[in-house]
Structure formats: structure tokens, C-alpha cells
A and B are shown apart, each in its own frame.
Chain A
Amino acid sequence: MKRRDFLYLSGLTAGAGLIGPAKLLAAEDLLQPADLALKKRLADIALNAATSKGASYVDVRIGRYLNQSINTREKRVDNIANTESYGMGIRVIANGSWGFASTDNMTPDSIAKTAALAVQIAKFNAPLLEEPLKLAPQKGYGQVSWKTPILQNAFDVPLKDKVDLLLQANDIALQSGVNFVNSSLFCINEQKYFASTEGSYIDQDIHRIWPTFTVTKIEAGSGKFQTRNALSSPMGMGYEYLIPDKKEEIDGIFKLYRNRYDILADMRLASAQVAEKIKARPVEPGKYDLILDPTNLFLTIHESVGHPTELDRVLGYEANYAGTSFLTLDKWKAGNFKFGSEIVHFKGDKTQKGSLGAVGYDDEGVQCGEWDIIKNGVLVNYQVTRDQAHMLGLNASQGCSYADNWKNFQFQRMPNVSLQPNKEGLKVADMIKNTEKGIYMFGRNSYSIDQQRYNFQFSGQLAFEIKNGQIAGLVKDAAYQANTQEFWNACSAIAGEQDYRLGGSFFDGKGQPGQVSAVSHGCSTTKFKGVSIINTGRNI
């Protein structure tokens, strides 16, 4: 493949609407981080300007958000986009209320005006508060830095190599007889600088990557079609995620991937499996023991455990959009609310290596750590930011503040929330052997849950039937429906650490105006007794 080092218009002509594209720039420019001294100088202008207008607390985030996306289909590249978004968000407390303003005009005059606007907004809003804000104490760290521990910066890899890999994968699919194949690679670099009136100047360089694809097969006679998506995960890693490593492979009923991904092998497998999906028999609805691979379970964890333990939802801050939570404070205070069975242990963290949530410090300057959320099946904690900590009687934030861009207000976002593996090293093969009537599901597909996180419905990329301890082939049109508490109390077995993997969401939406965040969920293959499976096949 030659001369693919190009940049192509990607949705850039959405000129008539207001939501413009992020700034696009040449790949070579992505590698130049802004000068640290300059960032400190700009931050100090904002801190001083807001303080002089009457702010009692100020924090400043200077962000340079670099994204590269490569999209291909069949034998050609659809588009490559390198985007940059650079600017400053200033958050203040004045008269006990939050105020915020942001700008991409980084002149001293513009920064001072933006700081003044933030203070003005806080003062207008203060009379509408029931009580003034209370921030958990936070020491200033001085000038510190943190970087995702990557082995190879994806932005250093020549565009040609990335394009070649995707097109090579596409060729495998086309040679296997699929009708269509789309593949994509997303590379993210957040260069974030945080400064506050408490004396922190935190510089962070955060990297994420996500390779993915979809193959489509159409049955000639009937016109029925099926798809199979990649079983990769978005990761908090560099390009090394795309360099296969046998040590990171798991020998299940087919090959699965831990911290390295073999896109060519997965494409080969997907092309065969999508043909099998066309021929698969429709699932018989009813109760089954459900075995979920981490490629599917991560999203169920995200929706049914991650979101309902967000304290802002519990308190009602998201009531108008994302919703509230069934895990109300009385259930936490009781100290015995059985969220799940004894073996269910969830930890929150922002530190797991390779995870999407891993950072050194959150977006309000709090150093990140790890804590229990569900222990022995009982709800023991939530996810909090500085202005929420006092509501749980905590004297420090857990570091769960995040904003997806310099232009948006930072607020409580989900850390990694992960299911702890079985300490005795239970094997997946034994789990299957001990299942009489089951469904074994892989990969994310359709997902939907109510606004208090009781009732959910999920499907997968692949659903195998298990009969009398044996895999009995693929079924189609299978989705599982359950109530969150009943589902986690039906959790009967969790595989050991050897099977533990991270799955993740690159675009988790929350807040108004809407923001996305990236978060991982670790787990091993897990079994749930007697879950309701529905058949989603229809005719129109």
C-alpha cells in the first residue's frame, strides 16, 4: 500500500449547523505539547483575574485534545481525520456558587474576560442555591505531572502503517466471502493542565486507543443479513495494544485477548462466525443459566453497577437527563443492602494499568486511588467528587471529576468499576461443564436500561447454546432481560484471575450539555442462574 499518508475530510462540511468540527491539523503537529511555562502563565492570569473579581476558589483547565480517526471500508480508506481542540475552562466559586466559562481565544485579555464571566455567572446563580457549596479539603501538590505508561505513542506510528493494518484486515474478510467490512482506529491524546488556587499545577499526558471493525454477510436468497463486530476493547494504552503477544491470548472456545489484540486473527474468526450466524437457529425463549464473557459483561457492569453507584445520580443531580438511582442513601446507610450474591465484589479505581479511567489526578486536582463499592454482595460506597464528599461523611474526594473538553464543566464521572475475580482460579471450561441449559455470550451489542437502573436488556455479538455441559452451536436473536438486583444475586460463579480482562466504553454519555467519557470495567467470565432470554426476531 502506498501514499496513504493523507488527511481526508471527516464530517467537516457540517457547516450549516452550529456544532462545528474540532480543529483539524497535520499529524506532525500532534506531537508538540504546549510549553509548560506558557501554560502556567496563562493559568495564573485566570486564577488572578477570577480571584480579583471576588472568587473564593478557582480552578483552570488548559486542554489540548488530539484525536486521530481512520475509517476504512472494503479496499479503500473512507477518511482520516486529525483533530485538535485547544482552549481553557475556568471554574470558580463566588458567593458560595459554581460559575464557569470557557474560551478558545487564549490572549491574556480574553482569559481575564472569561474569568470575569465565570464569576459573574456564579454571582447570578448564588441566590438560587439552598446552601453554599462545601468542598472536601484538598492539598495543593505544587508542580507535578503524570503520563499514561505507553510503550508506543500511536501518534508516532506512521499513518501508512495504521492504514495498511486496517486494509490488510479488510482483505482477510473479503477473501472469506463477507459482503462488507468496515474497520476503524481511534487514537486519543488528552494533554491536560490543571491549576487551582490551592496551589496545584498538574500536567498530564493521557493516551487511549480503540481498533474496531464490523463484517456484514447477506444471505443471497432471503436477503437476510448478519454482522459481527470486533471483540477488541478500547484501552488506555499506546499502539502496543495492536501488536499481538501470545502471552496475552486466552484459549477459550476460540481465541480471546487480554492486553494485546490480534486484529487479523479476530477478523479471520469474525468472517467465519458471521456466516455461521446466518445459519444459526433462533433462540428458544425461556430461562437459562447465562455465562457472560468479559467482552459482553463489561457493558452490563457499566450500566447496572457503574451508573447506579454514581453519587450525583443517587442525589438527584441527573434527574432531568441520565436519571436517578435505585441505590438510594438509605440502602447504603443500612449497611446490609444485598446488591448481589456473596461472591460479588466491585472496586472503583482510576489506577488500573491499561484502563481507560487511569489518570494520576482527576479534573479537580485530586490524586486517584481505589476503593470498594460492593463488598460481599453489599453496597458499601459510591463514586464522589469534592463537593459531594461531605454528603457521605467523607473527608476527601475519591477523585471522580472529569470534563471531556476544556469548554465543558467538570463533574462526577464514573471511575473504572471492576468485578473482582475468583481467588481459587475457577476455569471457564469447568463453568461450562457444570451448566445443563445455558447461553454463553460474547461481545457488546444492543443495550438499554431504565433511568433508575432496575430493568435492563442486553444482547451480544455471539450467543452459543450450552446443553448438558457442552457447547451446542450458535443461536440468533437472543437478548437477556433482568432486574439489576435479581441478576447480581443470581451470580453463581466467577472465573479466576487468569481470565480477567478489561472491556470499556469510549463514549459514555452524561450531563447537560452532554459530555462523553471513557471508562473500563474489568471482570472474568461470570455465570448467572436462571436469567430470562427473549427472542428478538421479527418480520416487517
Chain B
Amino acid sequence: MAILNKAQAEQLLKKVLAFSKADECEINLSGSEGGNIRYARNAVSTSGGISRSSLVVSSAYGKKLGVATINEFDDASLEKVVRRSEELAKLAPENPEFMSFLGPQQYKESATYVPATAAIDPKLRADAVATSLKIAKENKLTAAGFMENSAGFSAMMNSHGLFAYNTITSVDFNVTLRTEDGKGSGYASKSYNDVSKLNVDTLTKIAASKAAGSAAAKALEPGKYTVILEPAASVVLLENLFFAMDARQADEGRSFLSKPGGKTKLGEKLVDDKVTIYSDPQHPEMPTSTWSGDGRPQERMNWINKGVVENLYFSRYWANKKNAKPIPSPDGIIMEGTDASLEDLIKGTEKGILVTRLWYIRSVDPQTLLLTGLTRDGTFYIENGKIKHPVKNFRFNESPVIMLNNLDALGKPERCVSGESGLSALIPPMRIRDFTFSSLSDAV
């Protein structure tokens, strides 16, 4: 579907809403156009273009809700989808947790759409890959990588007068370079709304440098080490903490934030006081949508402030039950840091390990948030402020809660993207004491 502008989306949604006979009706509309290219073994492998759209109609009678969807947009189809959702609502049992749809909301303008990103075509993607491959071949390395771009819109309207509209663009690039003998590997990744910020040349050179530098790794004994985590490594640990900050789970006693007797750690010191984590849809370095999918406005929100758990996110139902503010879960995380560079952190380290990427992160124990996973694509031993040599990869078993209590130093935040979930974040490099590596891996 073509990307509808605000007026076109509003007109289409009004037309759908006019068919409604239910007590309440809410409609979500979205569409996108995008493309991708993939390469490996120093050659392009697969690529494609994807076009999709969706219209979702929710109708409610009292606390009974019905939902139906269609992706055809002629008048008969639009009326059909509304009638179908109404029929389903009439069949539904009452849901005691149903919340009446929201009334009109105020949203700030979001800065998530960049025309240059929307204009990316197959040629631009192929040219970017050609740039990356040239660097790989010049350095006698083997490249595998991926670039993907998308442009789309989302809109919603309901019978209480709520209307929301947003457009968003995104471009993702990530690349792995490996030495020809398979003994060295390096990685770089970025995700932006604005393609002008993406520098394929620089990213490929970073990956090339890590690949060449990580060959001939030496084995260190597993155990507790001071580590410096680059942002691409720490984001996959922090996001697990962040994804678990749901108020209901905590109140119900089945979260790392639960305490005996139905109490929670909300308002309590959880981690080192250097830790401040927040979200801000208007952040110039990482704009995200100013409204959530159910129409709630997304605002700047502190989650952990100077080590104290300041807010949890609530469903509308749970917030109502607990008489709390219904804070939605946000689209990106931001952690405060300092002006120190990664090099500064390395310089200040007597003995430690630089971790550039972590992989295959899984929860081991939700009560303690213990996670396991491995280092990957460049792990280095630091001695007396300098990188001495690459080391073999480790498996770790560590909780981000314990890790953030052992926080030693922070650097300057930078934009990164989770290799596990795709979540965007603005996170500083961090130095952690006593990080637990439990075994060695032969993987490169």
C-alpha cells in the first residue's frame, strides 16, 4: 500500500468508523514499503522488496470485544470488516479486564520519518554492498552482511474522538568480516531513522579491524574478570532487565523486582548510583513514536534514576486497579554516561577483558535475572591500560542486576542496536568488576 498522508489516513479511518454501530469502535491502520539485501562469502546472496498493509477493527459492546481485520480497501470490504468485528463482539463473553477505549489525546510531533531513507532503492542497497565488499577484499577478509530499509505509516482512530498518526523510516546495516583462515572475526552494526547517518564504509572498516585483531586468540582461564562492555554487547543484557520492568509481574511476585509479601522494589535502590536509564521519544539521537499502539502518549520517562527504580510500566487495566499512572512500555532505552571514550576506559584498566559483542542470550533464572550467553566477534585482554592480545570466547552466567551493582566506570553513550531483539538504544561503554565467565568456547 502507498504511504497515506495524515489527511488521507484520517479520511479513510472516518469512512470506516462511519460504518460502526457498536458502543465503541477503534481502528488501527498501517502500511509499509521496504527492501533488503544480504551478502556472504564476498558476494550478494539474497535480497528483496516487501509491500504490506493492515486494517484492524475493534468493536465493543459493554465489556465484550470483537476484532476483525482486512487488507482490501473498497467500501464493501470496509463495511464487511466492521460488521464482522461487531458480530464477534456480540458472541464474546465479558472480559473483566476490558478497558474502554481512550478519548482524544495530545501527542507531540515525532521525528521518526526521513524522506531520504524512504527514497532508498535497490541500486542504493547494491552500491552499499559493493562498498563493503571492496573493503573486505582489499583486506583479504570474507564479508557477510545485511542491509534493510523500510518506510511506513501507522494511524488509529476511535469513536471517542482519538486520532493518532505517525510515519517512520528505518535503515539497518550490519556486517561480519572473517579472516580467510577462520581464526579472526569482527562485527559492526547500526540502525537509524536517517540514512545520512549510516556510514557503511566506516562500519565495515571497524569490523575489518576487529577481524584482523582477533585472530590468534589465546585461552584465559574462566572465572571472574573486570570487563569493558562495548554498547553493542551491553544492550543485549540491559534489554532483558528493561523488558522485565512490568508492574503486574512484580506485584504478582514473579519478577526480579518482587519482594516477599506482595511488595516490590519500586522506589528502592537496585543498582549502582551511576545508573540512570530513561526513555525519550523526542531524543534527537534516537527518535521513536510519540504514541503507543493503544493510543497512550509516549513521554520522557525515568526508569532507573541514580540506581533507584523510579517507574515500572503498567497495562491500562493494572494501572487502574493499582491506582497508578498507566505508563506504556517505550520503544527504546537511553542510559546516561560520561564524556570518557572507550579508549579512556581501556587506559584506566589494569587487567581486564574488552567484550565487543555478546550472543545467544537466554534467561536462566527469572528470579535473579541470571542470563547466559557467549562473547563473539572480537574479545581482547587488557593489561596496564592497553589491549595486549585477543582471547578465546567465553560463556558467561551473569545477572544484569549484579553487573550494574559492580559498575566501575561509564563512557560516552552511543547509538546501538540489539543483535538479539532489534531494540534501539543509546548506551555508554561500561566497565564492570567481577563479571562471571563460566567456560571457554572454541568458536570464532
Partners in one complex: yes
CA distance A252 to B30 in the complex (A): 51
A452, B443: Cβ atoms closer than 8 Å:
yes
B438 at the interface (CB under 8 A from A): yes
CA distance A411 to B36 in the complex (A): 15
Of the candidates A18, A222, A223, the one having the most CB atoms from chain B within 10 angstroms of its own CB is A18
Q: Mark A405-435, 1 if CB is under 8 A from B, else 0.
A: 0011101000000000000000000000000
Minimum distance in angstroms from A116 CB to a CB of chain B: 11
Is chain B's binding surface mostly helix, strand, loop or mixed?
strand
Minimum distance in angstroms from A82 CB to a CB of chain B: 9
A539, B52: Cβ atoms closer than 8 Å:
no
Of the candidates B36, B164, B261, the one having the most CB atoms from chain A within 10 angstroms of its own CB is B36
A20 in contact with B36 given A326-B442, A479-B364, A536-B365 (CB within 8 Å):
no
Q: Which listed segment binds A: B16-24, B304-312, B396-404?
A: B396-404
A449, B360: Cβ atoms closer than 8 Å:
yes
A7 in contact with B52 given A2-B93, A481-B395 (CB within 8 Å):
no
Q: Name the interface residues of A283-322: CB closer than 8 Å to any CB of B.
A: 315-321
A121 at the interface (CB under 8 A from B): yes
B401, A317: Cβ atoms closer than 8 Å:
no
CA distance A42 to B103 in the complex (A): 44
For the complex, count residues of B whose C-beta is within 8 A of A: 119
A332 at the interface (CB under 8 A from B): no
A465 at the interface (CB under 8 A from B): no
B364, A12: Cβ atoms closer than 8 Å:
no
CA distance A118 to B443 in the complex (A): 37
Of the candidates B36, B175, B360, B401, the one having the most CB atoms from chain A within 10 angstroms of its own CB is B360
CA distance A320 to B38 in the complex (A): 9
Residue among A6, A104, A125, A446 making CB contact with B51, cutoff 8 Å: A104
B214 at the interface (CB under 8 A from A): no
Chain B contacts for A245, CB-based, 8 A: none
CA distance A28 to B372 in the complex (A): 44
Q: Which listed segment binds B: A197-205, A334-342, A454-462?
A: A454-462
B47, A125: Cβ atoms closer than 8 Å:
yes
Residue among A129, A317, A447 making CB contact with B362, cutoff 8 Å: A447
A477, B58: Cβ atoms closer than 8 Å:
no
Residue among A8, A13, A22 making CB contact with B293, cutoff 8 Å: A13
A191 at the interface (CB under 8 A from B): no
A450 in contact with B438 given A6-B65, A105-B51 (CB within 8 Å):
no
A346 at the interface (CB under 8 A from B): no
Residue among B154, B155, B174, B252 making CB contact with A180, cutoff 8 Å: B252
Chain B contacts for A8, CB-based, 8 A: 65, 67, 92, 95
Minimum distance in angstroms from B396 CB to a CB of chain A: 10
A448, B361: Cβ atoms closer than 8 Å:
yes
B84, A26: Cβ atoms closer than 8 Å:
yes
Q: Which listed segment binds A: B121-129, B225-233, B340-348, B382-390?
A: B121-129
A100 in contact with B395 given A218-B253, A224-B367, A320-B175 (CB within 8 Å):
no
CA distance A20 to B39 in the complex (A): 27
A23 at the interface (CB under 8 A from B): yes
Sampled A-B contacts (13; CB under 8 Å) = A8-B92, A9-B67, A14-B293, A76-B97, A86-B71, A104-B51, A319-B144, A320-B175, A324-B182, A326-B443, A447-B362, A455-B443, A477-B365
Question: Which A residues contact B (CB, under 8 angstroms)?
Answer: 2-18, 20-26, 76-77, 81, 83-84, 86-87, 89, 97-105, 114, 117-118, 120-121, 124-125, 127-131, 179-180, 216, 218, 220-225, 315-321, 323-324, 326, 328, 407-409, 411, 446-455, 457, 459, 477, 479, 481, 483, 512-513, 534, 536-540
20 additional A-B pairs beyond A18-B168, A512-B146, A536-B365, beta carbons within 8 Å, are: A3-B91, A5-B91, A6-B88, A7-B68, A15-B56, A76-B95, A100-B48, A121-B47, A180-B254, A225-B253, A225-B258, A225-B367, A323-B359, A326-B442, A448-B361, A448-B372, A448-B373, A450-B376, A479-B364, A513-B148
